[in-house]
Amino acid sequence: MMGAMIEEMLEVERDDYLGYSKHERKKDTENLSRDLRNGYSPKTVRSSQGDIKLDIPRDREGQFKPELIRKHQNDISQIEDKIISMYARGMTVRDIQSHLEEIYGAEISAQTISNMTDKILPKVEEWRNRALREIYSIVYIDGQRFKVRSDGQVKEKTVYTVLGIDIEGNKEILGLWIAETERAKYWLSVLTDIKNRGVKDILIITRMIYLVLRMP
């Protein structure tokens, strides 16, 4: 999930550097870089959830230097919370743009932030609304309080996390949701959403133990 988001952001960075997107032709060679795409280089970065394998975009002349994952950077822990939160329900387009601006600072233009948002949103919505398995042997639920930026202000909100383990023992984050407080009524809406995405039965449901997220 996080790897897909990072790769999309890096792709837009390369588009911005070259002056045209992947599926566009150069129309004005005088104003656009004469450089070309040159595939990808594999790279593994560390996160609190484990190692993530990425495909880093390259250019033909070797001058493109992404800002998100720099040349010798191997740790993304300083940005992973912001990336994960972009998948949570309740995050508006403005919230996502605010997160991107915090990640990049003044390193890239407002237009590039807008282009990233347009490219990221379809993947976010696809993940949020994907179909789930009919049966889970165990579902862990929990809410944790975080300080997040919303509408230009830093507020304390609850991130609701649901982790499912299927009959074969595979772990899967079923969803992330953001709300002002942790209340039973809101949990009902979370579980209703899971049901609407195809879940028919849960054998055991319990509060989440944080160490479960760090299991191999």
Mind giving me the DSSP string for 79-128?
HHHHHHHTTSBT--HHHHHHHHHHHHTTSS-HHHHHHHHHHHHHHHHHHH
Identify the CA nearest to 82 among candidates 105, 58, 61, 99. Answer: 99
Burial category of 31 from C-beta neighbours within 10 Å (exposed 0-12, middle 13-18, buried 19 and up)? exposed
| Mean pLDDT over the full length of the chain | 85
* Mean pLDDT (whole number) for 69-78: 90
Question: Who has greater pLDDT, 32 or 136?
Answer: 136
What pLDDT, on the 0 to 100 scale, is given for residue 27?
54
pLDDT tens-digit readout, 101-130: 889 987 888 899 999 999 999 989 999 999
CA–CA dist 122, 125 (Å, integer) = 5
C-alpha angle with apex 176: 214 to 201, nearest 5 degrees?
A: 85
pTM across the whole model? 0.76
User: What phi and psi values does residue 168 have, to the nearest 5 degrees?
Assistant: -85, -5
Domain ranges of the chain: 2-128, 135-214
* Mean pLDDT (whole number) for 142-160: 76
CB count in 10 Å sphere of residue 32: 13
- Helix, strand or coil, per DSSP, at residue 73: coil
CA 94 to chain CA centroid, Å, is 15
CA dihedral 25→68→2→209, nearest 10 degrees, is: -170
Looking at the chain, how many residues does it have?
216
Structure tokens belonging to residue 10: 């890096």
pLDDT tens-digit readout, 171-211: 999 999 888 766 777 888 889 999 999 999 999 999 865 54
CA–CA dist 210, 208 (Å, integer) = 6
* Mean pLDDT (whole number) for 34-43: 89
What pLDDT, on the 0 to 100 scale, is given for residue 26?
56
97, 114 in Cβ contact below 8 A?
A: yes
* CA dihedral over 39, 42, 45, 47, signed as positive or negative: positive
